[in-house]
Structure 1
Amino acid sequence: MKVSTIEPAQPLDHLAPAGRIGVVALATDFNIEQDLRRMLPGDTQIFTSRVRNYNPLTIENLRSMAPGISAAADTILPGTQLDAIIYGCTSGTVAIGSERIAELIHQSCPGVPVTNPVTAAVAAFRQLGARRISILTPYTEQVNCEVAELFQRHGFEVLNIAGFGFEDDTAMTFISPVDIVNAAKNVCDAQADLLFVSCTALRASVVLDEIEAQLGKPVVSSNQALTWHSLQLLGYPAPVSGYGSLLQQLPV
């Protein structure tokens, strides 16, 4: 038997030249990877790990996933430089805290910029000049109270918040985009500067343009905000069309 080694004739390709984005997703999330791949430009790429989470979705159960975040981040392309890392849970960020999440990820990936849906949404609201917001979620009233209080602490006036009342993270993805559109029209206060559709599991990205057209104001979703903020962290030089007005706000 002859054994030989072949040298490539061409230089090795540099994949994802505009940026490599790590994602720590919930073990039960059906949607975040599809949403991010749909919205992110083709010269970027996401690489996903998953952290164990627990139903029902309560603040206590959300906090219980914190010990697994560092280990999940550690498995994303070990030895390869990432340009940004996303922690992909809005209510989890509310429960654990943005600073703590960044600390946990930096235990495995020191120096890499970290974002999450709350940090991204706050930056997006400010970019859009919003002060008063309405919020639509799939969560229970208990979780919604925590969500509203957090955004109020960031200086926004939450005019109202309404949720579908789900406690199962996986089931949240099965909510029809048609129901998201109808709920958005009913929930958004006329005095709100924008509507925030919270939760990475909701399939809101495919109807953002439709909701904005009907409301006549910006609509920010968790995954859209993550896309926008990640591209901002990468210094991406061009806007993205088809997923709401926020992604037209690039470069920043």
Structure 2
Amino acid sequence: MTAISYGDRRLGVLVPSGNSVAETELRAMLPPDVTMLTTRLELRGSSAAELLAMLIQLEHAAALLGHAEPEVIAFHCTAVSTFAPHLAGEIRDRISAATGRRAIATADAILAGLATLGARRVLLVTPYVEAVHQREVAFLGAHGVRVTGGSCLGVDSNTEMAAIRPETIVAQVQAAASGVVADACFISCTAIRSAGLIAALEATLGIPVITSNQVLVWHALQVLGIHRHVNGFGRLLSSTTIANGPSRRT
């Protein structure tokens, strides 16, 4: 008989339909006793109309996840959940109303992770088109986090984002970080291959690095009451207690 770990805890995750990266990264970082269950919502491009249309079937998709009785349901799309300062709260409320279960969004995880790291000044690196990047800058600013530097690649679709080579992301971060004072680096987007870059970039930059997928895992574990070290994916996941150190000029 082959032993299979099914996990005693269940996390439901709603992901964009065109995203081929998030589930792989999330599973790599979640401890084996947490089972991840996913449902997709339509999203492939980055126009404002496409991003907001992802929410049309939100209740239906969340209800399908609810049938599997997850403890928490996460809406996992950075660009949509940071579209406006109030939107993540509305998304949470809609999911909870449809399922009777606790809900979180990527935007919640980002803000909670940065707060835990004591990061008020952030280097923001994204693959997005300019409009999406700037909305994220505005979202962070509305919550007291100042973007002191960064860049975007102008990529529109989830398929193109998944095709970005990890070394391209590293080069983008290093170029954007030159001369910038920041408390943390945020590599945004659930659809890019960034989880494996975190530890090395932290060593190079001298500041904590978070990514959309990594910070969602961290936040979900906190909400689930699972306070456990997960090594290999940066300071946030490797320690539940973060000592606030001085900012670094990267």
TM-score (norm 2): 0.89
Spell out, residue by residue over 1:79-136, the C-alpha distance to the aligned partner (whole angstroms, 9 max, x if none): x4311111110001122610111122123211x2222221101100010011100100
> Does the 8 A contact of 1:39 with 1:224 survive in 2?
yes
Matches of 2:220 and 2:197, distance apart in 1: 21
Partner of 2:7: 16
Q: What letter is aligned with 2:112?
A: A
> Does the 8 A contact of 2:42 with 2:54 survive in 1?
yes
Matches of 1:206 and 1:147, distance apart in 2: 23
> Does the 8 A contact of 2:190 with 2:212 survive in 1?
yes
Partner of 1:34: 24
Spell out, residue by residue over 1:207-226, the C-alpha distance to the aligned partner (whole angstroms, 9 max, x if none): 11111111111001000000
Partner of 2:103: 114
In structure 1, stretches of 5+ residues that fail to align are 1-12
Q: What letter is aligned with 2:7?
A: A
Matches of 1:16 and 1:248, distance apart in 2: 21
Alignment of 1:123-202 (within 5 A): 123-188=112-177, 190-202=180-192
Q: Choose the corresponding residue for 2:71, options 72, 83, 89.
A: 83
Q: What letter is aligned with 2:176?
A: V
Q: What letter is aligned with 1:41?
A: P
Displacement over 2 Å in runs of 4+: 249-252
Q: Choose the corresponding residue for 2:196, options 206, 215, 218.
A: 206
Matches of 2:66 and 2:103, distance apart in 1: 16
> Does the 8 A contact of 2:161 with 2:191 survive in 1?
yes
Spell out, residue by residue over 1:49-85, the C-alpha distance to the aligned partner (whole angstroms, 9 max, x if none): 0011242x1222201111111111111251x431111
Which moves more between the two structures, 114-123 or 30-39? 114-123
Matched, 1:98 2:94: no
- Give, in angstroms, the shift of residue 14 of structure 1: 9.5
- Give, in angstroms, the shift of residue 190 of structure 1: 3.0
> Does the 8 A contact of 2:83 with 2:139 survive in 1?
no
> Does the 8 A contact of 1:47 with 1:77 survive in 2?
no
Q: What letter is aligned with 1:154?
A: H
* Percent pairwise identity: 31
Partner of 2:229: 239
> Does the 8 A contact of 1:84 with 1:234 survive in 2?
yes
Matched residue SS, 1:166 = coil
Name the larger-Rg structure. 1
Matches of 1:134 and 1:20, distance apart in 2: 33
> Does the 8 A contact of 1:31 with 1:202 survive in 2?
yes
Q: What letter is aligned with 1:16?
A: G
- Give, in angstroms, the shift of residue 160 of structure 1: 2.2
Matched residue SS, 1:201 = coil
- The size of the alignment, in residue pairs, is 236
Q: CA RMSD in A?
A: 1.8
TM-score (norm 1): 0.89
